[in-house]
Every structure is written in structure tokens, then in C-alpha cells.
Amino acid sequence: MDYQRCFDDSIARLKAERRYRVFADLERDALRFPVALWRPEGQADAPREVVIWCSNDYLSMGGHPRVIQAVVDAAQRHGAGAGGTRNISGTHHPIVELEAELADLHGKQAALAFTSGWVSNLAAISTIAQLLPDCLILSDALNHNSMIEGVRRSQCERKIFDHNDMAHLEALLKQAGTGRAKLIVFESLYSMDGDIAPVREIVALAKKYNAMTYVDEVHAVGMYGARGGGICEREGVMADIDIVEGTLAKGFGTLGGYIAGNANIIDAVRSYAPSFIFTTALPPTVSAGATAAVRHLKTSSAERALHQQMAALTKHALKAAGLPVMDNDSHIVPLMVNNADLCKQASDMLLERHGIYIQPINYPTVPMGTERLRITPTPRHTQAHVADLVEALADVWTTLRLPFVEAKVVPFRPAAALEAHCVYPDMKRAAE
């Protein structure tokens, strides 16, 4: 047995398929985000300035002065680590406060924090389904890997409904009958195409056929709804959802995941999920930073408004230049390349020639033949950043002979939010 060869071959396969992933060595600058320093491989002492256009720190809360201050204060007061699992000395006051804040955000009785959104889906879906006798899981075809892993781990029967297809979901619910335990698992906003689930219809079907609902709001919390409670808050169905899952690492700019729901459900997951029980808790620093972000976004809508503005402006500018943007109603800007090799080349050229960082999105994250550049504007991107992006992309498209589409020139009128650009007054002062 040639053990080393197995690993070498596995990597060679990925490279042959142009799916081998290279991580860019970036140094984010909290003051100047989305500007960062990039150290090209083998040139650690010659960093170059680049602009990040693919961050999931959607609202730039990771660099918000209130969040930074909360993390620094917590580190000074409580130290660096959590000290253990939640059962063994790891439950600390900042994490208790965080969970209260999250329960309130979603109008639920209780919440439970995990070390990541991925873990929270794995733990919660598998545990909840296992505790329901003969549970049938109905899972959207485009659900995130962490949800699929949770469904698999439950070992319950599962049926996949076509993406956002309510007729198909209803047929499966009807087939199962009202008597059987059923858990519908879906996302509110799908991060690769940026499309939004018909949450009102799903909730209505769940009621009609007596099913439980589990929604992943990872790409919506902080960003949608009057207080950042997500798509379900915006659509007025928060109270009809049984379990909501979210991350603290995207819209809230820090790290960790959570679920919120009825106290007995949260208590059951707390008590039965191995991926909660046997791992160290989030530290006070991260908990306090996340709490600050959640609290801030409950009362401040400036970040949300500017985020939507920048996303709309970016889409508008790319379309006007004839670049093939996939349409959707969210903040995600998918720019289609539809070829793994060219997608990687486009990404490399953007970085090396134009100082713009957009990671290529390839299989298995998206289906083969739908490779893309997934652009995520933030409130801290400026109109000048957008102009640079369009120019750079036009050059890359021309150089690689990628197809342009018919330009859509519709007048765009930036709202007031765009003019009052800086929503980080403290940060700006610090920079001057």
C-alpha cells in the first residue's frame, strides 16, 4: 500500500478538474475594509493592496467600532478562552447574554449558541428529527451541506423537494399524512443564486399538514427585517416558524452559530446533541462581539439600507456594462462564467492585474457548468470601488473572450443613503 500516493493522486484529480482551491493570504484592515493586504505565494515580504469583493462579512460588522470594543473589553475582563464545554465550566455570562439577545431577535423563548453555523445545523436537525418518532424530513434540494449532514446524521427517512417548489412539497406532505411527524428544512435565502424562499407558503403548508418548520436564515440575519431578524421577520412569519437557525459569522461579523425556538426544543437539543455537549463553548470575546453586533443591528437600519443600495448599484453597473449578472431579489451578485477553468482564470486575473479579490465558485458548491464569481457588496464599498470593479471585469471579460450580454441601460437613482456614505463615524475619526 502506497499511502502517500493516495493523497497525491487525490490532489492531482482536483487539479485536473480545475477544482483545486488556492487560498489567498489576506490581511484585512479593520479601518480600511474592503481594502486588504495580499501576500502572493512566495512573496510574503512584498504585500500588495487589494479590494475584497467576496466577503461574507456582509455588513462589515467585523470591523464595526462597537463590536471591536466589545471584543477588546471582554478579552481584558475575562481572558481569551471559554475554559471548557458548556457542561464543564464553559457557560459564562457573555454567552448567556448572547443567547438572550438572539431569542429576543427572533421572538422565541430560548436560543442556543454553537461554535459555528455548520455545527448548529448538524446538531439541531439531527437531534430534533431523532427525538420525533418515525420522523420524515422534507428537505429543499438546494439546502446547504451542513443541513444535509444534519439530515443524514438523524438516520430518519428523508425526501427531497425540488427547490422552492411548493406543489412538490405539498404532494410529499399529503403523501405522508397529517398523523406522521414531519420536519420541513429549508433556507430563507440561498447564497449562491441569491433567491428567496416562499416562506409564507411554506408556513401555510406546514400548518395545513401539521409539520414542523426549520429554517436556515444564515444569509439573512442582520440584513433583512426591521430588527435584522431575517426574511421571516420581513415576511411577518417569525412566530409561525418552529426553529430558526443562524450564524454569527456573516451579517454579524464574528463567529458561531445558533438556533432559537420554544424553550423545550432548545433544552432538548442542549441535552441530547453530542456536537453541542462535547465541544468547548464560544469564548467570552466572541460572544460579547456577537452580542454587540446583534444589539446594534436591532436598532440601526443604516447598514441594512446601505447594503441593499450598494448591491443594487453594483448589479446595475455590471448590467449596464453587459456583464452576465444572474437576477435575484437579494444582496448577492452572481456573475456567471459557466466554466471552471475560465472562472479560475478570471479570478486570478482580477487579483493579479487589478488588485480585486473575488474567489471563484466551483463544483461542488454549485453545479458543474454554472461556475461563477460571487460578488458581495458591503456598506463600505464606495461608488469608486464599483467603477473600478466594472472596469476590471470588462478587461477580464475581453481578455478571456468571455461572452458579454446585451447591456441594460436603465437610469439608476441612488437614494439618500448612498450620499451619506460612511456609517462608521467612529471608525472614520480614528482613521483621520
The reply on whether position 247 binds ligand PLP by CB under 6 A is yes
Which residue's C-alpha cell is 430588527? 227
250 belongs to the catalytic site: yes
Query: Do 110 and 268 form a contact (C-beta atoms < 8 A)?
Result: no
Number of residues written out for the chain: 432
Number of residues in contact with ligand PLP, rule: CB under 6 A?
Answer: 14
The distance of closest approach from Cβ of residue 268 to ligand PLP in the complex, given in angstroms and rounded to an integer, is 21
Which residue among 126, 154, 164, 191 contacts ligand PLP (CB under 6 A)? 191
The distance of closest approach from Cβ of residue 142 to ligand PLP in the complex, given in angstroms and rounded to an integer, is 9
Q: Considering only the stretches 212-220, 258-266, 343-351, 377-385, report the one whose residues sit in contact with ligand PLP under the rule CB under 6 A.
A: 212-220
Written as one string, the DSSP assignment of 357-422 is E--EE-TTTS-TT--EEEE---TT--HHHHHHHHHHHHHHHHHTTPPP-----------HHHHS--
DSSP H or E run through 212:
strand 212-216
What binding mask, one character per residue, do residues 287-316 give for ligand PLP by CB under 6 A, x or -? ------------------------------
Output the nine-digit C-alpha cell for 59.
Answer: 455588513
The reply on whether position 146 binds ligand PLP by CB under 6 A is yes
With CA atoms as reference, report the closest residue to 337 among 377, 369, 290, 384. 369
Which residue among 38, 53, 118, 214 contacts ligand PLP (CB under 6 A)? 118
Using CB under 6 A as the binding rule, the residues of this chain from 96 to 115 that contact ligand PLP are: none
**Minimum CB distance to ligand PLP smaller for 121 or for 139:** 121
- CA angle (383, 388, 390) in 5-degree steps: 95
**Minimum CB distance to ligand PLP smaller for 121 or for 154:** 121
Q: How far apart are CA 9 and CA 183, in angstroms?
A: 40
| CB-closest chain residue to ligand PLP | 117
DSSP H or E run through 208:
helix 199-208
The reply on whether position 164 binds ligand PLP by CB under 6 A is no
Written as one string, the DSSP assignment of 116-170 is -HHHHHHHHHHHHHHHSTTPEEEEETT--HHHHHHHHHHT-EEEEEPTT-HHHHH
**Minimum CB distance to ligand PLP smaller for 118 or for 424:** 118
Q: Which one of the listed residues 108, 182, 250, 315 is annotated catalytic?
A: 250
**Catalytic positions, written as ranges:** 250
Which residues contact ligand PLP (rule: CB under 6 A)? Answer: 116-118, 121, 144, 146, 187, 191, 216, 218-219, 247, 249, 257
